[in-house]
Structures are given as C-alpha cells and as structure tokens.
Amino acid sequence: MALSGLGLVIYVIFHMLGNLQVFEGPLVFNGYAALLRDMPIPLWAARIGLLSLAALHIVLAIQLTSRNRQARPIAYAVREYRQASFASRTMATSGFVLLLFILFHLLHLTAGVIDPSSVDRPDVEGHRDVYGKVVHAFQNPFIVAFYLAGQLGLGLHLSHAVTSSLQTLGLEYVAFNRLFKAAGPTVALVVVLGNVAIILAIFLGLVRG
Amino acid sequence: MKFTLNIWRQKGPEERGRFVTYEARDVSSDMSFLEMLDSVNQGLIAKGEEPVAFEQDCREGICGSCSLVINGIPHGPDRGMTTCQLYMRRFPDGAVITIEPWRARAFPLIKDLVVDRRALDRIIQAGGYISVHTGGAVDGNVLLISKEQAETAMDAAACIGCGACVAACKNASPALFVGAKVSHLAFLPQGRPERTNRVKAMLEAVDREGFGSCGNQNECEAVCPKRISVRFIAILNREYLRAGVVESSLPAEPESPHAEST
Amino acid sequence: MELDSKIPPGPLETKWDRRRFTEKLVSPNNKRKITVIVVGTGLAGASAASTLGQLGYQVECFCFQDSPRRAHSIAAQGGINAAKNYQDDGDSVGRLFYDTIKGGDFRSREANVYRLAQVSTQIIDQCVALGVPFAREYGGQLANRSFGGVQVSRTFYCRGQTGQQLLLGAYSALCWQIERRQVTMRPRTEMLDLVMVDGQARGIVARDLVTGRVSIHTAHAVVLATGGYSNVYYLSTNASGSNVTATYRAWKQGAAFANPCFTQIHPTAIPPGDAHQAKLTLMSESLRNDGRLWVPTMRADHRCPGDIPDGERDYFLERRYPRFGNLVPRDLASRAVKAACDEGRGVGPGGHGVYLDFADVLGQQGLDVVRERYGNLFDMYQRITGEDAYQAPMRIYPAPHYTMGGLWVDYNLMSTVPGLFVIGEANFADHGANRLGASSLMQGLADGYFILPYTIGHYLATAKLTPVGEDRQEFRSALQRVMSRISRLLKVKGSRTAASFHREVGRLLWNHCGMSRNEEGLKSALTSIPALRDEFWRDVMVPGSGEAFNQELEYAGRVADYLEFAELLCHDALHREESCGAHFREEYQTDDGEPQRDDSRFAHVAAWEYREGTSPVLHKESLAFEFVQPTTRSYQ
C-alpha cells in the first residue's frame, strides 16, 4: 500500500511540474509533450508501470478495507473521533473520487474521447498542439468544475497518504518526526496549488491560446 | 446530580444485545465513574435484577482492566486516563451517557460490557519476551544503557494492555500495543538478540487473531491512558522491515532453540 | 499440629547455601511427569510458574483476572530494595537484613530475612536480563533512591511504576513458558478449595468465571501466591478483586494461619469521601519528604486552612517525634493521624483527615521545584478530589495497604500441609510485624524466582506421591462442597447486597481491629461478626445463576469468607497482648503513647489452626534471635 502509493505520489509531483510548463507558452509545452512522445519505449513502460501500480494500489486497498471491516463486525452506536484527521477518515471516499477523476482525465486529455470538439492539429513547429487542447478544455466551466473537484480529492488523499506511508515504512527519528508529520499536507498543498494554478490561469484567461 | 445512561446489555456471546436506559440518581460529583455504575448496580441487585457486568480491578489506572467506551470514546472524555480515573464532576448534571464495550472481532464479548482480551496475551506469547533462564543473569551494570535509551524503553513499556488502542482504531488494529512491546525490547541491549524473530512472530499472531491493520490515523495515541506515542508504531514497522532484510541473509533453517526439550 | 521451621543449622551467612546443597533434586526425566499448580500471577506467582516451567515441570497456573498481567503487584509504585551497594554508601546484605528485621519490630525469622537480603541482588540482575527498564544514570548505570527512611540508597525503580514493570517482566517470562507449553494458563478461573489426599495437597477445585463450570485440577504440589487480605477492611488501597478466599480455604483444610493481626495501614491515602466510595487511593510516601502534617489545635475547627494562623496549628508529628518529624515510619505516622482525628481535630468530611501542607516548600523552593518533584501526585489528587493542592493543603488519611500476616510456612516456604507452598504476600514469613517500603516486591520475586523452585524440588523428590485421579473420593467431595456453597449463596434471595455486608464488616474491623485495638473492642467485634455472618446467610441477594458469568456471585463468595476470616483476625489481635509494629494495643503503651513490645511473652509467631465449630487453636513458634539483639524502636 505504502510503496505503491509513494510511487504514485512521485508521479503526481512530476506530472504537476511538467504541466507547469504551460506557463512557458505553447512552444515549450508542446515541445515537452513531443519530447515524451519521441521516446515510445520509456513512455509506454512508464504508462504500463503507472497503470499497474495504480491497479495494485486499488486491489490492495480493497483487500485491506474488507479485512479491516471484518475486524469490527459490530459498529459503535456512538462514535467520536479525537485526533484522526478528516482526510484520514475519508481515504476510501477520496480514493474513489480520485479514481473517477483519473479515468475522466485519461479519457479526456489522453485519449480525447470526452470532448471531441477539441481539434487535434499541429502547431507551428509541427508538434501536436497539446497546449491548444488544454487551453480549449479549461475554458469549459463544467470541465473546470470537475477538475477542481478531482483536485480536492487528490489533496485530501495525499495529505494523509504521504505521512502515513512514511510511518508505515518506519521512518521515525525524534528530531525529524515533525517533518514527517508535515510532509503529507505539504506535498498535497504544493501539488494541488500547482495543478489548480494551471486550471484557473486558463479559465480566468491569464493563459491564452 | 442525575444522569441518563444508555448501557449495552448482552447476556452472553450468543445472545442478542441491546441498549437499556437507566437513571442514575443522587450521584455526587466526587464519585468516580465506576462508583456511579456501582451504585446503579446496587439498586439493580436489591431489586433482584442482574447488575451490569463491567470490568475493573485496581481502580487507580494501572491494571488495565477497565474497558468502557463512553460517549464514543474509549475511557471517556479526558485524555491520558483510564475509565476508573474518570470522575462524575466531569459531566454536566442531567447528561445522557452512552456506554458500550470494546468492539472488535478479536475481542469477543463475554457479557454486557465485558470482552475477552486474551488475544493480546497471545500476541505477547508469540514473542513479546526475552528468553533468559532464571538464575543465569549477569550483573545488572554489566551492560550500560544510556539514560535516553532507558527512558525511551520505559515510555514504551508503560503500556497497560487495556486494549483502548484497538477499541479506538477504525480498523481494530493493535499496532500501538504491539509497537510498544517491540520498541520496549528493541531499545534495550538485552532484547536485541531476538528482535528479528520477535517482530515477525508477534505480527503473525496479530493476523491470526483477526485484528485489522494500522491506517495511521493516530486515534490510538489520542485515547491511550498512558499516552504512548505512535512513533512506536513507526519503530514497529521499521523493525519489521529490518527483520525482512536480516532474515534473507540468515541460514535457511536455524536450529530450533528448544530442540532439546521437544 | 507441629511447627517445624526447618531452619538449617550453622552460621547465618551459609544457611541457604547449605540448604541448597543438602536438598534432593528431581531428575529431568521425572520433572516432566510432575504437575505443579500455581494459583495467582502476581510477582510471586508469575515468577514461580515461569521458573518451574523452565525447570521442566508441567505447570498449571490460575488467576481470576482476565490476564496474568493484571495481578495487583502491578500497582506498586515506589521500588524494590536490593543490597547491591552500587552507591558505595555502606550498604550490605547484613545491613538490609538488619533494617528489615528491625523494621519488622523483631517478629520475623532471622534465617528467612537473611536469605531474602542475600537473594535480593540476584533479583535485580534477573529483572534487567528480562528487559525491565530500570531508571539509569547518565553514565548508563542503574540508578537508586532512598526510600522509607533508611540511611542508604538501595531502592531500584522504574519511574512510579516499578511494580508494573517487574510484573510485566515476570509475565513475559511466563508467556515464554506458555508458548513452550510448559505452563498451561487458566485466566478468569478462581480457586475455591484445596484438595487433600492422604494428608498431602494434591489439587484444587476452581470455577471458570466465564462459563461458571466448577472443575477439579490434580497436581503433585500446590503453590499459593494469592496475595494479601487488606480488602477485609472493605476500604483499602488493594484492587477490588484482591481477596482472602484461596488462603482462607487452605486454612480450613489444615494450613496454619500466622499473625493475621499484622496488617499495615499506610498513612498517606486520600481520605474516604461518601458512602459510595469503593477504594482508597494511595499517595506516595515520598510526599512526606516535603509536606508537613498538621491539624487545628481546636476541635471541630471548620475554618479554611488558610485562615488558621500558625499558632493555632498542631504539627503533631514534629511535636511528638522531634528527631524524625514528618518522616517517622508508616505505623507511627498512621497512628498519630488517627489519634489527632479521634480527638475531634480531624479535617474534611466526617473529620477523617489531616492536612499535608506544602506551603513551606512552595515558599522556599518555588512552584516549579514542587511541580517537578510531585506534579503527577498533585494532578492525581486534583483528579480525585477536585481540589488544587498547590493552593490549599492536601487532606490525607491512613488506609489498609498490606498484610504481613499470612499462611504459616517453614524455611522451605511449605505450609503445615505437606505439598502446599505459599509465597509472596500470601505467606507470613519475612516482614514480621511491619513491612518496610520497597520490600514487598523484593520478597515476592525472591520467593518466586529463587527460593521456591529449589525447595519445592526437595519435597517432590522425597515425598511419597501416589498417582491420583479426579475420581478419587477426596476430589468428588471437595467438588460437592464448592457446588453446594455456590447454590446456597444463590438460594438465599434476600434483600441486602453483598457489598453492604462487606462494608459493614469492614467498618467493624476498622473501628475495633484497625490502627489501634483494645480488648473491649476486639471482644465486641468477636460477638458482632458471627451475628453479621448469620444475617448474611439469611438475607444476602445474589442475582443470576451459577452456570454463567456472574460477578456478583464471585463477590458474594469472597465476602462470605471475609465474614469468617474477620473473626480469626480479631482472635489473633486479642491474643497478642503487646504493641509491636503495625499491631497497637491501647493497653500496652507508654505514658507518652509509644508502643510497648513484650519480648518475654510474645517473641513468637502465632499460628492458628482451624477447628470446625469452635474457636481456632493457637500454636506458637518461638522466635530465637541468635544474631541480632532485639532493641526498642525509638524515633523520638
């Protein structure tokens, strides 16, 4: 759980950093996209790796959850949490939201199934105009709303997940324990802020086609 | 003071349980929570009814017998104490108080608010000890142990085995209980020779007993009457990973330590 | 009945060595065919059961708690003594021996106490090896503190949880033996009778507290490690489950009960509040290092303590014992508190309390110092009473705490019943008439780890033990005895709860056989107790059935035993016409209220034999002091 999750977290961070290049203009962004496409073997290896990591993560999550549910067959009539964070208590929900969002995102921007109105044509340098596609997408308020909801799920999930994974991997040292505790919320905040910046910048017209 | 109590009553493991409402009258604010239950029970007995079964013994917060979930929190509203250390002045007059037993598959119910916590003993039996024979010990000062190490071991060893961590955990995981014992012994030189097998055996026992797994929500730490830190869960995990690494370099079949006695 | 203490001859220092050498051993092959029953899993029981398991015996171990780790040894706070002399402050085996025998007011056996002091050093090593996290110095060595007014630092400790850590050490050793299947652990099982076959202890009858099933357990020897009987007073610092039933049942089967009147009353407990109170909470003795005890000089002075000027306060310990002041031993402090309250100068509800005042140390050394030293105790006090001891003085009152009396045992820890061994607080052996602080943990572990495992071997190697089966007449009739008693308890269906009888007999004992006793009071108690017992059997209400988990039935059975045992306690107190240690007879005191010991008439152990239908019969084991000279304890 922790290892597969951390693998996905690393991907999410690089995904966000890569996408921030949208602020550099269409040439840089499309060039980045083309760079990735020019390496089909690493690209597909990464894609398959990611998918299987995600699948493993989900399977493990379902297994663990069902076992954990069995560990308490009769629920408490009254239940009050004292310390468990909202994020930690909603991991299954936020994970499910995230899964839906990722499916949508893949169908939308990777496979291009969701929004056929976006046109797939080359830019001035002959690269595929991914930039144009993204900018087109985030002018649609419904898509923006859906992406923002996805980011909420991502943020919640990450804020518990990262700290929790470090704990599961036994990272513990008195001087650094506060750092480890802060890691989850910090990573979540950075990733979500980065992603949301892209979405809102386009929606508010700060980044244009 | 008076209170309305919703108490879980269940005649036996196979019977159906339900909440029964009792009125506790003439409660003095200086009474402990258990004394308040005592007085309710005295009233029930005088009427020839069966009193509410609940567990208690030392009544000073160290034996770990008491085990009530009060208004949704194991050991009740205050941090760092057991049920027996809770006093009625903590509740507003006229309050409604719901009392439930520890709930976990590994803690089958015996009666009313009493559950069977032997699963915790079996986890210790799996490896929560140092196997030294009586009489052969070297002088206590032969192995020097730094004050910090001894204090950390003591922090972990303070666990009273009440099971509140299991009761509070969404997954009914005993990670804090196991982590406390594994860490206590891992911090002391005397505990090191067996650390590899200890952590593995204890975690295997956890699985056998039907506990859930740790979700790192830290709710256990928040209800622990001895305020045992979740850092000991991280140490438990580290010890487990370490055991996996060390084990891969051990000879395949170590000689059984009890070969002679079997 | 013959009381043969079986003390080995020769010099004190080598008695135990010689005994270990002359004893017969059981061969390893035979050990696995021998079953030993251990009842109780406190320090003594858990350490004995685990060691016997290691030696290769088949051990069957019982406790009434849900886990062996919850035995009441767990509540001991202070520490454990050992003559290690790590501090190089002049401690030695001899000095620990002398302190213990003097602290016990010369009413214990020299040979036993010397052996205890000898073994004490091994206990620490054993506990360290088991992973007990004793407090350490910065350099990594074991730390010590001084405790209970002795002049050397010989007490080892784990914060305020020494008993807990020592018990968890013994419990972990026990767990190892359970895992190895050398020990069969039976938690939630209460011993209700001892079974004798051909004059030997050969088993017990026990009730499974979950299912209610009463069953027979056979063995080659039985070890009782069932603790003390302070709960006969109803309010005590003991756990509510602690009881006298196992030792009392054994007494009825022929084991002599020694010195039951030696009951220790601890001076610094939180005073009892209302009638619902079920337990007295101990405040560490260390509070007397800085706190000053006082009461108002006027009777029934209901002013706030802060409004009472210094001139109208009586610092009674400092006045009576100018040399030791507030640090006099437990028995003297307790009696002085009681005397002040009896004069009508007590404070708090019912006048049951005296002030323990920290104003001076707070003024001189500041809040921070006091908080660091006693913060957890002040917090505990506030939690229980709702009062802030930093603002106003604490109120304290004595509470029954430990019982030096117990089943009589010889040097080998065997009772007058062959095959019945008694260890820990349950026996009478080592503390005489008064126990010093941090000595009970030492004795429990000495008996369990280092003494019993040797001496029981000699018995098992030399006694003629015929095979017995559960179908023996003796077992069937013991089972019948237990079952009929249970059904009798259930059949009364009266109107009073067992607790109400317990409270009543407790109050009776506290008033007449508590901190100070006199002939008239004891005689009146001896007439009231049988009447109360009759009423119990006429009017007690025990709901539910015997074939199920029934806590009220367990409790009622224990109360029924208290109602009989209380009488034995009073008989012993009445017979001992002297004041020694914790036993204070008002007739035997000096003009200024100090106890008067009578070595010419009472330098003996009083061992009582059960006789059905009549008063218990007294046997005396005289105490010879060859190596130390009994002196008068003076703290003035």
Residue extents of the structural domains in chain A: 2-203
Q: Decide if A93 touches B, using CB distance below 8 A.
A: no
- In this predicted model, what pLDDT tens digit does every residue of C343-366 receive, in sequence order? 999 999 888 999 999 999 999 999
CB contact under 8 A, B134 and C47: yes
B212 → closest Cβ in A71, A76, A166 = A71
> What is residue C276's predicted lDDT score, i.e. its pLDDT?
82
Question: C183 vs chain B: nearest CA distance in angstroms?
Answer: 11
Q: Output the pLDDT for position A118.
A: 61
Say which of B19, B222, B242 has its CB closest to residue A83.
Answer: B222
At residue B248, the pLDDT reads: 76
Mean pLDDT along residues A149-167: 96
Q: Is C544 on the interface with B (CB under 8 A)?
A: yes
Q: Is B190 in the same domain as B140?
A: yes
B148 in the same domain as B71: no
User: Is position B151 within any domain?
Assistant: yes
Residue C143 pLDDT:
95
Domain boundaries, chain C: 268-400, 473-603
Is 70 exceeded by the pLDDT of residue C333?
A: yes
CB pair distance less than 8 Å for B73 and A82: yes
User: Taking CB atoms and an 8 Å limit, are C140 and B147 in contact across chains?
Assistant: yes
Q: Which residues of C touch B87 (CB under 8 A)?
A: 383-384, 386
Distance CA(A57)–CA(C47), nearest Å, equals 48
Q: Do A168 and B219 touch (CB under 8 A)?
A: no
The helix/strand/coil state of C257 is strand
Interface probe for B, chosen from C51, C130, C166, C500 (most Cβ of B below 10 Å), is C130
**Which of the residue ranges B41-50, B87-96, C91-100, C326-335 would you say has the lowest mean pLDDT?**
C326-335
State percent of chain A over pLDDT 70. Answer: 97
Q: Do A172 and B218 touch (CB under 8 A)?
A: no
Question: Given C72, C138, C140, which is nearest B58 (Cβ)?
Answer: C72
Whether C184 has its CB under 8 Å from any CB of chain B: the answer is no
- Return the residue of B nearest to C282 by Cα: B60
Q: How far apart are CA C240 and CA B37, in angstroms?
A: 14
Give tens-digit pLDDT for C506-565: 999 999 999 999 999 999 999 999 999 999 999 999 999 999 999 999 999 999 999 999
Quote the pLDDT of residue A122: 80
Angle at B145 between CA B140 and CA B149, to 5 degrees: 135
Q: C346 vs B248, C300, C378, C385, C570, CA distance in Å?
A: 70, 7, 21, 17, 27
Task: Supply the ipTM of this predicted assembly.
Answer: 0.95
DSSP for chain B, please give it.
Answer: --EEEEEEE-SSTTSPPEEEEEEE-S--TTSBHHHHHHHHHHHHHHTTPPPPP---SSSSS-S----EEETTEET-SSTT--GGG-BGGGS-TT-EEEEEE---TTS-EEETTEE--HHHHHHHHHH-S----TT-PPPTTSS---HHHHHHHHHHHT-----HHHHHSTT---HHHHHHHHHHHHTSGGGGGGHHHHHHHHHHHHHHTT--------HHHHH-TT---THHHHHHHHHHHHHHHHHHTS-SSPPPTTTTT-
Give the residue-averaged pLDDT of A120-136: 83
State whether B10 and B37 are in the same domain: yes
Banded pLDDT at A207 (limits 50, 70, 90): confident
Q: Please give the pLDDT value at position B261.
A: 44
* pLDDT tens-place string over residues C561-587: 999 999 999 999 999 999 999 999 999
Average pLDDT, chain C: 95
For residue C594, the model assigns a pLDDT of 87
Subunits adjacent to chain A (3 or more Cβ pairs under 8 Å): B
Please tell me which of the candidates B42, B146, B258 has its beta carbon nearest to residue C140: B146
Q: What CATH number does residue B184 fall under? A: 1.10.1060.10
C635: pLDDT strictly greater than 90: no
Please report, rounded to a whole number, the percentage of residues in chain B having pLDDT higher than 90: 93
CA–CA distance, B107 with C503 (Å, rounded to integer):
34
pLDDT in tens, C440-478: 999 999 999 999 999 999 999 999 999 999 999 999 999
Is pLDDT of C109 > 60?
A: yes
Name the pLDDT band for B262 (thresholds 50, 70, 90).
Answer: very low
B81 neighbourhood in chain C, CB within 8 Å: 383
Euclidean distance between CA atoms C180 and C439, whole angstroms: 32
Instruction: Enumerate residues 6+ apart whose C-beta is below 8 A from C210.
Output: B110, B116, C188, C549
Q: Is B96 within a domain?
A: yes
Q: Which of B66, B83, B111 finishes a domain?
A: B111
Q: Please tell me the distance in Å from C138's CA to the nearest CA on chain B.
A: 5
C63-76 pLDDT, tens per residue?
999 999 999 999 99
Q: pLDDT class for A113, splitting at 50, 70, 90? A: confident
Interface check C211 vs B, CB under 8 A: no
Cβ <8 Å between C134 and B150 = yes
Contact A80 B222 (CB under 8 A): no
The residues that bridge with C354 in the sheet, in sequence order, are C396
Q: Which residue of chain A is at minimal alpha-carbon distance from B221?
A: A83
- Report yes or no on chains B and C touching (3+ CB pairs under 8 A): yes
Residue B260 has pLDDT above 50, yes or no: no
Q: C17 pLDDT exceeds 50?
A: yes
Check CB contact under 8 Å for C70 and B125.
no
**More confident position, B249 or C577:** C577
Residues B43 and B144 in one domain: no
CB-based contact A89 B214, cutoff 8 Å? no
State pLDDT tens for residues C377-436: 898 899 889 899 999 999 999 999 999 999 999 999 999 999 999 999 999 989 999 998
Structural domain boundaries enclosing B175: 118-248
Nearest CA to B40 out of B90, B103, B113, B107 is that of: B113
Residue B39 counted as domain residue: yes
pLDDT of the residue at C151: 81
- Is it the case that chain A and chain C have 3 or more CB pairs lying under 8 Å apart? no
CB-based contact C543 B51, cutoff 8 Å: yes
C228-245 average pLDDT score? 97
Residues B8 and B105 in one domain: yes
C543/B188 CB distance under 8 A: no
Q: Do A68 and B215 touch (CB under 8 A)?
A: yes
C473-603 CATH pick, 3.20.20.70, 2.60.40.420, 1.20.58.100, 3.20.20.140: 1.20.58.100
C67·B121 Cβ contact <8 A: yes
Q: Average pLDDT for residues B232-249, to the nearest whole number?
A: 92
Contacts of B221 in chain A (CB under 8 A): 83
Q: Once rounded to an integer, what is the mean pLDDT over residues C183-188?
A: 98
- B130 and B12 in one domain? no
Q: Is the pLDDT of residue C26 over 50?
A: yes
| Residue range C288-307: mean pLDDT, rounded | 92
Residue B262, in any domain of the structure: no
- Top-level class of domain A2-203: mainly alpha
Q: Is A178 on the interface with B (CB under 8 A)?
A: no
Query: Which residues in chain B have Cβ-Cβ distances shorter than 8 Å to A174?
Result: 231
Mean pLDDT of A50-77: 95
Q: Which residues of C touch B36 (CB under 8 A)?
A: 276
Q: Which of C141, C187, C496 sits opposite B141 (nearest CB)?
A: C141
Kindly state the average pLDDT of the residues C4-14.
Answer: 96
B198 reaches C (C-beta below 8 A): no
Whether B132 and B178 map to the same domain: the answer is yes
Pair C597, C634: CB distance under 8 Å: no
Mutate to test the interface with B, among C81, C176, C181, C382 (most CBs of B within 10 A): C176
Q: Assess whether B30 and B132 both reside in one domain.
A: no
Residue of A nearest to B242 (CA): A170
pLDDT of residue C312: 95
Chain B environment of C176 (Cβ under 8 Å): 125, 129, 131
Cβ within 8 Å, pair B172-A72: yes
Contact at CB, C277 and B35, closer than 8 angstroms: yes
- Boundary (domain end) residue, out of B94, B111, B128: B111
> Residue C285's pLDDT is what?
82
Number of alpha carbons in the 13 Å side-chain half-sphere of residue A52: 5
Residue B259 has pLDDT above 70, yes or no: no
Report the distance separating Cα C323 and Cα C326, nearest Å: 9
Is the minimum CB–CB distance between C154 and chain B shorter than 8 Å? no
Q: Which of B111, B135, B162 is the last residue of a domain?
A: B111
Q: Which residue in C has a C-alpha nearest to residue B135's C-alpha?
A: C126
Q: Look at residue C7 in the predicted model and tell me its pLDDT.
A: 96
C497 interfaces chain B, CB cutoff of 8 Å: yes
Say which residue, A15 or C78, is predicted with more confidence: A15
Q: How many CB pairs under 8 A join B and C?
A: 228
Q: What's the rounded Cα separation, in Å, for the pair C469 and C425?
A: 31
Q: C268-400 maps to which CATH number?
A: 3.90.700.10
pLDDT of residue B253: 56
- B16 in contact with chain C, both atoms CB, cutoff 8 A: no
Across the interface, of C74, C278, C552, the residue whose CB is closest to B35 is C278
- Mean pLDDT across chain A, nearest whole number? 92
Query: Do B26 and B136 lie in a common domain?
Result: no
Q: How many CB pairs under 8 A join A and B?
A: 108
Report yes or no: B23 at the C interface, CB cutoff 8 Å: no
CA distance to partner chain B, nearest, from residue A166 (Å): 8
C461 at B interface, C-beta within 8 A: no
Q: Is residue B255 part of a domain?
A: no
What is residue B258's predicted lDDT score, i.e. its pLDDT?
53
Q: What is the mean pLDDT of residues C80-106?
A: 95
